Every structure is written in structure tokens, then in C-alpha cells.
Structure 1
Amino acid sequence: MKNNNHWQRMQVTKRSLQRQLLLWTVLPLLVLWLAGAGIIYAVSLHYASENNDAHLSRLADTLAAQVIKAARHESASTAESINAAAQLLLKSGPEGQLHYAIQFGDRKSVIGSAIAPFKTTPSDQNRQIFSDISLENRPYRLLSAYYAANHAENQPEVIVEVAKDLSAQTATLNQYMLRMALPLVAMMLLISVIIWFGVKSSLKPLVLLKQMVETRQAQDLSPLVLENAPEELNALSDALNQLLASTEGSVNRQRRFIADAAHQLRTPLAGLKSQTELAMRESNPEGLRDRLNMVHTSATRSIHLVNQLLTLARSEPGSPNGIPKVKMDLARLIRDLTGELVPRALAARIDLGCDCLVQEAWIDGNSALLRELFINLVENAIKYIPRDGSVTVRLTETATQYVVDVEDNGPGIPDADKQRVFERFFRREQTGNGCGLGMAIVREIVERHSGTVELLDAEPNGLIVHVVLPKNLFIA
């Protein structure tokens, strides 16, 4: 139940790559379009306001000039003539309704209609004051202009107010923005459709890869082949192919191990079964003892084979049962295991010696596997050289490597067999209790430690197993 809930949460929270690409492509365009429209509207409104202010300023100057001219001639019909001129000058047109008011210095005589009325008081320091007002629920732009008195020229002090209705201008600007927005919206929709087709076409190889993975059988580990795929998707398919190749290699190693183990265990187990059957039918105590000895020998060989197979499986790269790396002294390991094998060498009349030219050889390695590696080399040398022979384990170093040589003075190995001895279950001689896995184990352990192993001829005779391990050791 818990797993089902977790899966449902994953289903709810999963996201579509195509939807995200469309969102992050179309959304910025939409934001830029709205921002552009807002900027255009603000700039248009700014220039329209500047034109309005300039127009109102010219009107105010003209009205003030008419008032000053009438005052100089002391016309009896000053108000009537100014009103007539003002009506002609401020005649309503497409630019909007205009209103005016003129106040003289006595602050009592007003020509026209009071607009604000005269709530702002311009002066010499602030000759023109612009403001936004509302008349009859309509927006107006108001200019209050001050013209100082000049008694020498019979010029009175005059304050002129001119207001312009902005409703028509606002409607015109809105119509302009609407007419501009319609083609932009159509263009935005067209661009969105183009982007949608582009994203869908670009993601088609990814959909194809998804279908290839979904429809593939679990046993099919062949590489995925994508044609005309983009570089990023090729990198993904290459990574998947590497994973498939690694999985195929692991599966093949497991199959080979199972096949080899079944093949190799079949013979000793069949022999063990036969010997036990014969022992069960044996009535002679001496014959029964001989049969039991043969059973013991077969069981010992089977145990040795199983141990070798387990070591081989553990030493393969990618094995989940491998022992983690530890910091260890390779020189001490070689000295200790050489000392442990001295009694066995003496029993076989073999002179076993250790020549460590390096006092300490610290590496990061798998101590159990490295121990198995060198025990196999020394035991093979003891097993396959004649009596009264000698085996020497030698440790040297270079700037970047440690070199371990296991040298004996036996008959050696022909060049034709020097590579074959590393094959699993290859035995040059069918005598003895060996199972042909010792050198295969050696190769697997060395390769897992990023090293190399090769067989060289010793002088004047014999064999050298030459193992090279890097100093900066990291297990694969």
C-alpha cells in the first residue's frame, strides 16, 4: 500500500519536458509582448501630454496677448471682444473641448468661466502650473499661467486658465493600441504555433528513444541506434549503450561462471557419488578404507574447486560481493604470506625466499584478493617445479608502480601457452588436483586493481610471473 501511494505521488508530480519547453519559450515572449505594449502606451501618452501642454501654453499666451492689447487701448467692450476672440480661438474641434478663464490683478474681474476656479496661484517664480482635473466626470488638462503687470506700458496683471478635455485623446489612444494589439496577438499566436511544432519536432527523437526502450525485451541488450539525433540525445543514448554493454558483460560473465561451475562440478560430484556407492557395497574393511580415502580425495578436490570458483566470482569487476578497499602495506603482505608458505615449500623440498627491496609499500587495495593473488602464484610455483628447486618472491618499485616478480627455476612454459594459462580451466598437465583456475584468478585480481600480469622467461631457465600494480591504487 505504501509503494502504491508513492507511485501515485510520482505520477502526480511528474512533469512534461515538452510542456516545460513550450512554457519557458512562449511565456517570456508573452511577457515581452505585454511589456512592449505597456512601454509603447506610456511613451505615446507621454508625447501626447507634452503636445497638450505645449498647445495649452500657446493658447494661454494668445489669450493673454488679447487681454493686454485690449487693456492698452482701454476698449469699452474689453470683455465682449476678448470673449469673441476667445470663442473663435478655442472653438471645439477633434482635439477635444476647451475652456478658459481670465482673471485680472484685482482678483475680482473674471472673463470666461471659472474652471478650477483659480485654485492654483502662479507667480513670477512659477509662471505656469499644469494639473489634471475632472469636470462633469470627464478628465481635463489644466494650465494656470501668470503674466506680471507692467504699469509703464499700461499692462495689467493677468492670470489665464485653459483646460482641455482629454476624453477624445484617451479614446483615440486606446483605439490606436487596440489596432496595434490585434496584429501583435495574431503574430503571437503564429509564433506559438511555430514554436510548438519546433519543440515537438525536436523532441521526436526522444519519443523514439522512449518507444525503443519500452518495446525492447528484457533479454535484448543490443545497443540502441538513433539516426539523425541531436548531440545531447546521442550523449544519452551512448550512456544507455554503455550501461547495456556493462549489463551484457555482467550477464555473460554470470552465464559463463554458471556454465563453467556446472561443467567442472559435474565430474567430481559424479565421481564422489560413484565412490560412495562402491563404498556402500564394499564388505572388506581394507577395501572400504580405500574407497573412503578416494571419497575424501574427491571431496577435497570439490571443496578446492568451489573455493576457486567463489574467489573467481568475487574477483570479477562489478561483483557486488567484493571486499572494500583498505589502506595496506604490500611489502608486509608479501613477507607474511611467504613466511606462511615456507612449511609447505619445505615439505615439497623447495627453497622459498623473499627479496623485498622496498621496506613499506602503502597502497589502497583489497587485501583479501591480493593475498589470494600471491598465494596462487607461490603455490603454483611450488606445485609445478621439480624437487630441490627454488622460488623467489621479489618486490621492487618505480616512480609510479610496484613490481612483484615470482621467479622459479623450473622447466618454464612454452611461448605458445603463456597466454593460454590465463584462460579458465586450461591445464597444461592433467595430473594433480588442480582445476585450471589459479592463473585466471590471478589475471582477474590484477585487472581489477588496474595492473598488468605477464609471464617471462627466467635465466638460465625457469619462469617469472611479472605483476605490476600502480601506486595510486583505486579498485574498479
Structure 2
Amino acid sequence: MLTTKTSLRQQLLLWLLLPQLVYCLAGAVLFFSVTLFYANRVIDSRLAETAEALSELSQTQGTDLDALAPIVVQETAFRFYSISNKNGDVLHGNLSLKAPTDEYVQEIYSSSAPSFFDTTINNEAFRVAAINTQFANKEPVLIQVAFNLNLRNLYARQILISTALPLALLIIVTCFLVWWGIGRGLRPLAQLQSLMEHRKAQDLSPLSLQDAPQELQGLSSALNHLLSGTEESINRQRRFIADAAHQLRTPLAGLKSQTELAMRESSPEGLRERLNMVHTSATRSIHLVNQLLTLARSEPGSQTGIPKVQMDLAKIIRDLTAELVPRALAARIDLGCDCFVPTANMHGNSALLREMFINLVENAIKYIPRDGSITVRLTEDAHNYIVDVEDNGLGIPDADKARVFERFYRREQTGNGCGLGMSIVKEIVERHAGTVELLDAQPHGLIVHVVLPKTDLPA
């Protein structure tokens, strides 16, 4: 098994060269087997021809084979013959080639054609062709012609060696070509590595690979997408920090000025007035900091730190409406709740959703005229829960509805708002895979229309 430390080049070399090696070895074995097969066929054919020639000679010459048989069979160390009677006595030829064992005798005598078998003579392997016939005097005899297989094996080894040398050369050439091809194929990866190693950490520009293969183009595209998302996230954080610093500078500077004036005040009434102004500035600063922290928690980059659980959206809305009724009454606002869904189970973060609905209701309380009314309404369709926060105030012009969700944007400079409430609402809704939009109420007023899916994937 390959370890995780094995390089890609080594893996490619292994899986490309290993089949080539197996293929060459299998080809050599197959070639050797085919060579032996056809060599055996040639040997059997020659032995059969010689045995049949001796059979014809014995039928015409009888027992007078002393002069003619050696002419038919040129005996050498690799080939010789024998003619034996039914008792197994050798009448002519080599005395070492005796009658076959009983397992071959029945097959030989049952057929007029030559029979073939392998035997061992003096610890050497021989191929034997045997045929039964009779002399001219009608005496039955058994003719055997043997061929020493050592000669065949010698020739086969020579053929194998002569075949193995070109195969070995072919393997070497193949290894070199595969090694060169892998190096050339992996060159774009080396180019990508070089680009990443020489790139500064602050450089998030897209990668540019020339003549990259299709697979590496996909990797390059994925990296460029990641770099683009990272750059966008960093730019968003930079804008957030810059905006937060700008927004915090004003109330903190005002707080510092108020404390300096309070330190110079000598009368109790003047000191009390200054302290009230310090308290107001501190309260506004605390509200701004809390809004900034909520916005930071609700951003997509912080999803891993905000768990989502199964919760009842209807209960959250009913409870929050009840909690905010005293604040609405203090502002002479009629706050009501219409939950047409008894139980609204969904997957979400209850803390963020509570913050979202608090912002919606508090914004309506701040900006609608006194003696107005606010209604929080919960409905549903087949796939979503729908929350509408409707008021009968002056509403928002269509040209400003999109800008309301921008950070630190305030249509009116009155009040203690910091322009983050609707930005927080949008971030929290998007965190729950929902949508939010502003609609006109009839005959006048504004509806914040929030759609939350019933089944939301965990963050």
C-alpha cells in the first residue's frame, strides 16, 4: 500500500511502469509457450514420419534391417530408434529405448497411427513416437523413435534469451519515455507551486497559468474563487473596521468633551446636567458597541461559532412582542401580535433571531409617529415561515428602500440610532437562508417582509 508521503510522480511511475513490466513478462512467457508448442508439433511430425518409414521398411524387408534402418534414422546423441518384439526384447536400434510401460501399450496397439509420450532415459527427458507393425514374416513388432528434449530446451532457451534482450531494451526505453512524459505533464503543477511560493501574503489577485491542462484549470479556477472570496471577506472586514472606528469616534469624542465640561462645572445643577449628557453619550456608545458585536456575530465569516438548533419561531415572536409592549406603550404605540401558526419549528439560532425581531420592532417604535400601531404577523406556506412587521407610519420611498440595509445609513438624523439595525436584520436573515424586503402598507406605512425556510441546513 502506498504511503501518504509518496510523491505524485512516484505514484504515476509505479502505476504506469508496473503494467508495462507485467505486460512484457507475460509476453515473454506467452512467446516461450508458443515456441515450445510449435517446436513440439515439429518434433512429433518428424518422429511420426520416421516411425512410419521404419514401419514400411519392416513390412518389406522383414528382419533384415541392419543396413537400411540406420539410413532412415540417423542416430545421434539426440535421436535414435528401437524395434522390439511383443516380449519387449530390442531386435534393432538402441538398447536403451525399451518397450513402454503398460499405461501406453494399450493405446499404442489399439491404433495404427503413431502414439506419442514422454519418457526418461538415463535421467534425460525424451519424446517418443511409437507405432505397432509387423515384419514381412508376420512377426508383430513395436517401432519407437525417440528425440532428446534437452536439444529442444536448449533451442527454446536461446530463443527466450534472444527475445528477452529486445524486451529489456523496450522496457528501458518505455521507462525513460514515461519518466519524461510524467515530468512534462507535472510541469504546470511546478509552475503553480512556484507562483504560490513567490506570492506575497497580501497578494490576492487571480492566478494565471499559461497552457495549463484542463484538470489544472479547474484547480486554478477553484483557487481563484477562494482568493476572490478571501479578498472580499478581508475588504468587508476592513470596511467594517473603518466604519466602526468612524462611528465610535463621534460618541467617544462627545463623551470626553462632556466629562471635561463636567469637571469644570462648579454648580450642582450644571454638574447634574453635564452628567445627564455623559450618561446619554455613554448609553448611545453602549448601544453602538452592542450593535457592532451583533453585526460581527451575524456575518458569514462567523458561522462556525454560531450553533443552530431546533426551535419554535412562533414562541419567540409571541414572547418578544410581550416583552416589547411596555416600551411601545411608553412611546404611545399600539403593539400587537398575530400568530396564525401555533407552532413554527425550524432550524436556527434563537439569539440571532431574537436580535433581529427586536431591531425590527424597535426601529418601528423609533420612527413612526406617536399614537401609531405596529403589528407582528406570522404566517406560513408550503416551504417557508413568513414574518411581517407592519406599521402605519410614513413609510419609506422606493429610492431609499435598498439603501436602508446598508451599514450606518440613516434616513433621519434624529434619535439615538446608529444605522446598523436593518444591516443586522439582513445579515441574520441571510444566515438562515432567508430573504427580507420592504413593502408598502395600505393606506400608508411600511411592511418588513421576512421569509425563513422551514428546513434550514446547519451552518
On the 8 A contact 2:44/2:116 being kept in 1, the answer is no
- Map 1:334-413 → 2, pairs under 5 A: 334-413=317-396
- List per-residue Cα deviations over 1:389-440 (Å, max 9, x = no partner): 1111112222222221111111112222211111111112222211110011
Name structure 2 gaps, 5 residues minimum: 110-114
Q: What corresponds to 1:140 in structure 2?
A: 126
- CA RMSD between the two structures: 2.4
Question: What SS is found at the alignment partner of 2:211?
Answer: coil
Question: What SS is found at the alignment partner of 2:128?
Answer: strand
Task: Give the TM-score of the pair, scaled to structure 1.
Answer: 0.88
On the 8 A contact 1:224/1:237 being kept in 2, the answer is yes
Q: What corresponds to 1:443 in structure 2?
A: 426
The letter of the residue matching 1:100 is Y
The letter of the residue matching 1:390 is S
Structure 1 residues 462 and 240 mapped into 2: Cα distance closer, same or farther (>3 Å)?
same
On the 8 A contact 1:448/1:475 being kept in 2, the answer is no
Alpha-carbon distance in 2 for matches of 1:210, 1:296? 58
The letter of the residue matching 2:238 is R
Alpha-carbon distance in 1 for matches of 2:211, 2:300? 35
Q: What corresponds to 2:70 in structure 1?
A: 87
- Map 1:11-410 → 2, pairs under 5 A: 13-71=4-62, 78=63, 81-91=64-74, 97-108=78-89, 110-118=91-99, 120-121=101-102, 122-127=104-109, 128-135=115-122, 139-147=125-133, 154-320=137-303, 322-410=305-393
* TM-aligned CA deviation for residue 166 of structure 1: 3.2
Question: What SS is found at the alignment partner of 1:319?
Answer: helix
On the 8 A contact 1:279/1:288 being kept in 2, the answer is yes
On the 8 A contact 2:206/2:227 being kept in 1, the answer is yes
Alpha-carbon distance in 2 for matches of 1:475, 1:141? 80
On the 8 A contact 1:276/1:295 being kept in 2, the answer is yes
* TM-aligned CA deviation for residue 375 of structure 1: 0.8
Question: What SS is found at the alignment partner of 2:363?
Answer: helix
- Map 1:463-474 → 2, pairs under 5 A: 463-474=446-457
Question: What SS is found at the alignment partner of 1:123?
Answer: helix
Question: What SS is found at the alignment partner of 2:273?
Answer: helix
Q: What corresponds to 1:74 in structure 2?
A: none
On the 8 A contact 1:68/1:156 being kept in 2, the answer is no
Q: How many residues are paired up?
A: 452
Of stretches 275-284 and 23-32 in structure 1, the one that deviates more from structure 2 is: 275-284
On the 8 A contact 2:116/2:129 being kept in 1, the answer is yes
- List per-residue Cα deviations over 1:229-280 (Å, max 9, x = no partner): 2222122222222222222222222222222222222222222222223333
The letter of the residue matching 2:105 is S
- List per-residue Cα deviations over 1:83-107 (Å, max 9, x = no partner): 32121111258xx731122212344
Aligned residues: percent identity?
59
Question: What SS is found at the alignment partner of 1:82?
Answer: coil
Q: What corresponds to 2:399 in structure 1?
A: 416
The letter of the residue matching 1:118 is A
- List per-residue Cα deviations over 1:46-94 (Å, max 9, x = no partner): 12112212322232232233334333xxxxxx4xx4132121111258x
The letter of the residue matching 1:21 is L
Question: What SS is found at the alignment partner of 1:375?
Answer: helix
Q: What corresponds to 2:112 in structure 1?
A: none
* TM-aligned CA deviation for residue 138 of structure 1: 5.3
Q: What corresponds to 1:75 in structure 2?
A: none
- List per-residue Cα deviations over 1:300-353 (Å, max 9, x = no partner): 111111110000001111215642111122222111111111111001100011
Name structure 1 gaps, 5 residues minimum: 1-11, 72-77
Alpha-carbon distance in 1 for matches of 2:57, 2:210? 86
Structure 1 residues 410 and 89 mapped into 2: Cα distance closer, same or farther (>3 Å)?
same
Structure 1 residues 458 and 115 mapped into 2: Cα distance closer, same or farther (>3 Å)?
same
Deviant stretches of 4+, over 4 Å = none
Question: What SS is found at the alignment partner of 1:427?
Answer: coil
On the 8 A contact 1:100/1:115 being kept in 2, the answer is no
Alpha-carbon distance in 2 for matches of 1:280, 1:293? 13
The letter of the residue matching 2:344 is A
Of stretches 230-239 and 160-169 in structure 1, the one that deviates more from structure 2 is: 160-169
Alpha-carbon distance in 1 for matches of 2:49, 2:244? 108
Structure 1 residues 402 and 361 mapped into 2: Cα distance closer, same or farther (>3 Å)?
same
On the 8 A contact 1:53/1:130 being kept in 2, the answer is no
Structure 1 residues 83 and 154 mapped into 2: Cα distance closer, same or farther (>3 Å)?
closer
Question: What SS is found at the alignment partner of 1:83?
Answer: coil
Of stretches 33-42 and 105-114 in structure 1, the one that deviates more from structure 2 is: 105-114
Alpha-carbon distance in 2 for matches of 1:385, 1:428? 13
- List per-residue Cα deviations over 1:123-172 (Å, max 9, x = no partner): 3444435114254x65432344444x69xx74112122322133443333
Alpha-carbon distance in 1 for matches of 2:161, 2:233? 68
